A and B are shown apart, each in its own frame.
Chain A
Amino acid sequence: MKTKILPLFLIVFFISCAQQKENDVEIQPEERSYEFETVFAEVDIPWGLAWLPDGSMLVGDKSGEVTLVKEDTSTSITTGFDDLYVRGQGGLLDIQPHPDYANNGWIYFTYASSQGEGEGGNTKLVRTKLEGTNFTNTEELYKATPNTTAGVHFGSRIVFDKEGYVYFTIGDRGNNEENPQDITRDGGKTYRLHDDGRIPEDNPFVNEENAKKAIFTYGHRNQQGIDKHPETGEIWSHEHGPKGGDEINIHKKGANYGWPVITYGVNYSGTVITEETHKPGMEQPVYYWLPSIAPSGMTFVTGDKYPEWKGHLLVGALKFQYLELVKLDGEKVVGRQKIAVDIGRLRTVKMGPDDYIYMGVEGKGIVKIIPN
């Protein structure tokens, strides 16, 4: 009789805890067919990483330092961002040159800013021009309110779409009760603007009273990875879940991604946020991670240096210290593979203009992946 009870015991044991994902796409171990080369080490927390048309590389440290790296020389750039607010997850965040940088010279930044009323800070989008060793002509394009001293969820990433709109993300600032589901408040949103900061006339909430009219999508928690799909042109992002429930989403105009009404995660403490994972009018993610990997940085693999990875997604796993290759078939995740196991806390990942993959790793710097 005992032989029948034991399997029953095991079955109940394995299904009675919610922090297990059924039928998940299993992650494959690393098959290392490449080497790593550190191309720039003089940075502690490389958050922003971008290239200018002449091949020089802009590296932003969360602390506020920006360095221009050209071949073997590196130059420190004075930002003039006097309102930079460095606290908790806040600081200097993303860097993105305008797609037509060669003609207009604009470089876009998001950073945590103490500007405006109230103690604390909130995320700000600016554009600026590089002249010599200074940023000049800095224009404020968006500043979220209110300032708070909360140390979490500033976002932020920037991307341009095919039409030249600029998208940027702001996390829920730790106030999930008020921010993500309320379109009259900042936080927990992806925003869309014209490149000069004007609100596009066809933004989804331009006719809603009191709405923040720059909002493109809402119901997010904290998006720290974004990229434009190389073929469809759609904007993909990922966001940190609480404990479990990190998500990959495709941005649809005006859509609600559900946080915190629906989620696959629970609080860090293990307490339940909501029992709901689905609701009409709220988007399901393309994929969710359970347990969390703490995703940071994201890029589609383009070019011909990595033929087997091309068209798939790379996502940094802060928590497990590797780079994850998320293999796609259209909008479906069909495979997962570890890359760069034990590389360290990976903050950002980008395709360089030379078609190599570059990773920004805390305490290590900018690391290039070179196929053998």
Chain B
Amino acid sequence: MQTIQTAFVYIVIAIFFSCNSKEKNKESAKGEYSKIETIQQNPELEKSIHRGNSVYNDFCVQCHLPNGKGTEGIFPPLDGADWLVEKRTESIHAVKYGQKGEIVVNGVTYNNMMPPMGLTDREVADVMNYIMNSWSNTQDNMVTVDEVKAIKK
């Protein structure tokens, strides 16, 4: 009897762990904004993040994935990316005009190209706000349409 019970527990644990990654993905797809309190204090940012979530799912998710982790060496991560924090202007530039050539993100070199997505300045701002406030990322300083507009090729 003891053995059967133990076996049952093991099976439950096995099922839970083997599909756990799937469950996690489900969560992030809904838009797992990290600092809810900060965002709620700024309704404009909240709206922008919400719109940015749709832009992300249409233009970015295929490569950067729902969890924002990308694929090491091929598609750089957005979750926890030092590039997003340290190179804000370059990040906006990359989303607005595409990115080509070598970049280093979290110590890993990437040398691919991201085509220009053809987004409006507003969509660029929205998706930047989404990315900068999703997963483990937080950024109180909202990206505005004017900030995007000011960044030239």
A residues apposed to B, CB below 8 Å:
1, 5, 8-10, 12-14, 16-17, 19, 44-45, 62-63, 85-88, 90-91, 150-152, 174, 266-271, 294, 319, 321, 344-345, 362-363
When chains A and B are docked, how far (Å) is the Cα of A271 from the Cα of B25? 8
Are B58 and A88 in contact (CB-based, < 8 A)? yes
What residues of B have a CB within 8 angstroms of the CB of A151 in the complex?
58-59, 117-118
What residues of B have a CB within 8 angstroms of the CB of A294 in the complex?
62
Are A267 and B11 in contact (CB-based, < 8 A)? no
B130 CB to nearest A CB, Å: 15
Nearest-CB residue, chain A, relative to B63? A319
From B6, B10, B112, B118, give the contact of A88 (CB < 8 A).
Answer: B118
A216 CB to nearest B CB, Å: 27
From A14, A271, A363, give the contact of B18 (CB < 8 A).
Answer: A14
Are B66 and A13 in contact (CB-based, < 8 A)? no
When chains A and B are docked, how far (Å) is the Cα of A333 from the Cα of B26? 33
Number of residue pairs across A and B with beta carbons under 8 Å? 99
Are A17 and B116 in contact (CB-based, < 8 A)? no
B residues apposed to A, CB below 8 Å:
3, 6-7, 10-11, 13-15, 17-19, 21-26, 28-29, 57-59, 61-62, 65-66, 71, 74, 100, 111-113, 115-119
Are B26 and A16 in contact (CB-based, < 8 A)? no
Are B59 and A16 in contact (CB-based, < 8 A)? no
When chains A and B are docked, how far (Å) is the Cα of A10 from the Cα of B61? 32
From A19, A86, A344, give the contact of B112 (CB < 8 A).
Answer: A344
Known pairs A14-B18, A62-B115, A345-B112; A270 contacts B26 (CB<8 A): yes
Nearest-CB residue, chain B, relative to A1? B3
When chains A and B are docked, how far (Å) is the Cα of A73 from the Cα of B117? 30
Are A268 and B61 in contact (CB-based, < 8 A)? yes
Are B26 and A362 in contact (CB-based, < 8 A)? no
What residues of A have a CB within 8 angstroms of the CB of B17 in the complex?
13
A249 CB to nearest B CB, Å: 21
When chains A and B are docked, how far (Å) is the Cα of A266 from the Cα of B19? 13
Known pairs A16-B19, A151-B58; A5 contacts B100 (CB<8 A): no
B89 CB to nearest A CB, Å: 22
A242 CB to nearest B CB, Å: 10
When chains A and B are docked, how far (Å) is the Cα of A62 from the Cα of B117? 11
Are B29 and A363 in contact (CB-based, < 8 A)? no
What residues of A have a CB within 8 angstroms of the CB of B7 in the complex?
5, 8
Known pairs A17-B19, A44-B113, A268-B66; A150 contacts B58 (CB<8 A): yes
Nearest-CB residue, chain A, relative to B21? A270
> Can you give 9 contacting A-B residue pairs, CB < 8 Å?
A1-B3, A5-B6, A13-B18, A88-B58, A151-B118, A268-B25, A268-B29, A269-B66, A270-B29
When chains A and B are docked, how far (Å) is the Cα of A13 from the Cα of B117? 40
Are A45 and B59 in contact (CB-based, < 8 A)? no
Are A270 and B118 in contact (CB-based, < 8 A)? no
What residues of B have a CB within 8 angstroms of the CB of A91 in the complex?
115
Known pairs A5-B6, A44-B100, A45-B115; A13 contacts B14 (CB<8 A): yes
Are A5 and B26 in contact (CB-based, < 8 A)? no
What residues of A have a CB within 8 angstroms of the CB of B66 in the complex?
268-270
- Known contacts A85-B118, A87-B118; 19 additional CB pairs below 8 A are A1-B6, A5-B3, A5-B6, A9-B11, A12-B11, A14-B18, A19-B22, A45-B115, A86-B116, A88-B118, A91-B115, A150-B58, A151-B58, A152-B58, A267-B29, A268-B66, A270-B21, A271-B26, A362-B112
Known pairs A151-B59, A268-B61, A270-B29; A90 contacts B118 (CB<8 A): yes
